[in-house]
Amino acid sequence: MLGYTITLAKPLKMSEMKWMGYFDEASKSIMCYKVAGYGWISVLAHEFRHLEQCAANIKVWREFQDAHAKTPIMELIFKPHFNKRIHFNPKYSQRDIISFIDKWAAMERDCEVKTIKLLKEFKIPVDLVNYAKEVNLFLYRCEYLKYHNVWPSFYTKNKKTKYRIYSKALSLCADKIIPKPKSIPDELEVIFEKLIRERDQ
């Protein structure tokens, strides 16, 4: 697209990567770190769909940007509060926080539905069933965040434990992207609560 740039780069160290890729609206650019395997292509496709949302200024993009301007809490969610209660600025009401998370989830869901179409169109060898399950897990985590002020994270130093718990969580998710969830499956909520209890110990 005219006026937009895409950069592929190799990370200096995997441990230094905060994200595998991102779209920056201000500079109209995508940065994607090219790592082994095909995972980076799905990240690039995802960020390209964000670029399209921005360029077309579609409703879910505008609504998220408006919500972010009103309630700028994204950084609080992702640093360094994994599995810990987030203390949002009291000037933001719980209603504002829930609205922000709903708008964020709606934007990402729209992006992911379109990303899967793009991956199918170009026959990228990505496990699309697993991809959809990961999207649904993200949507459920958003629901949990709304009412508990905690982002459930599967991060653990023990990679085998992380894989086991994450795989169990994915197995509880549908293999096609769901609409906005009205509730979290009981067994999945138990997993979220276990992750948080273990962090508190």
Residue 133 lies in a domain: yes
> Which of 188, 182, 185 is closest to 154 using CA atoms?
188
**Which of residues 14 and 62 earns the better pLDDT score?**
62
Burial (Cβ within 10 Å: 0-12, 13-18, ≥19) of residue 173: buried
User: What is the per-residue pLDDT for 1?
Assistant: 61
The strand pairing partners of 8, in sequence order, are 32
In a domain, 44, yes or no: no
Strands (DSSP E) contained in 10-63 are 21-24, 29-33
Residue of 2 and 176 predicted with greater confidence: 176
pLDDT band for 16, please (50, 70, 90 cuts).
low
Average pLDDT (184-191) is 97
Mean pLDDT of 56-70: 96
Residue 134 lies in a domain: yes
Give the percent of the chain with pLDDT over 90.
68
| pLDDT value at 48 more than 60 | yes
Pick the more confident residue, 66 or 89.
66
Whether 200 shows a pLDDT value over 60: the answer reads no
Q: Give the best-scoring range by mean pLDDT among 40-44, 59-63, 154-158.
A: 59-63
- Its domain, for residue 162, covers 57-200
How many CB atoms neighbour CB 49 within 10 A?
A: 21
In a domain, 139, yes or no: yes
- Indicate whether 16 belongs to any domain: no
pLDDT, residue 178, reads 98
What is the pLDDT confidence band of residue 196, given thresholds at 50, 70 and 90? confident
Region 153-182: mean pLDDT is 91
pLDDT at 18: 63
pLDDT (0 to 100) of residue 120: 97
Instruction: Please give the share of the chain, as a percent, with pLDDT higher than 70.
Output: 90
Whether 9 is covered by a domain: the verdict is no
Residue 146 domain-assigned (yes or no): yes
Region 136-148 average pLDDT? 96
Q: How far is the CA of 176 from the CAs of 48, 77, 135, 161, in angstroms?
A: 21, 26, 9, 26
Choose among 177, 178, 172, 176: nearest CA to 191: 172
Q: What is the reported pLDDT for 135?
A: 98
Number of domains observed in the structure of the chain: 1
User: Is residue 107 a part of any domain in this protein?
Assistant: yes
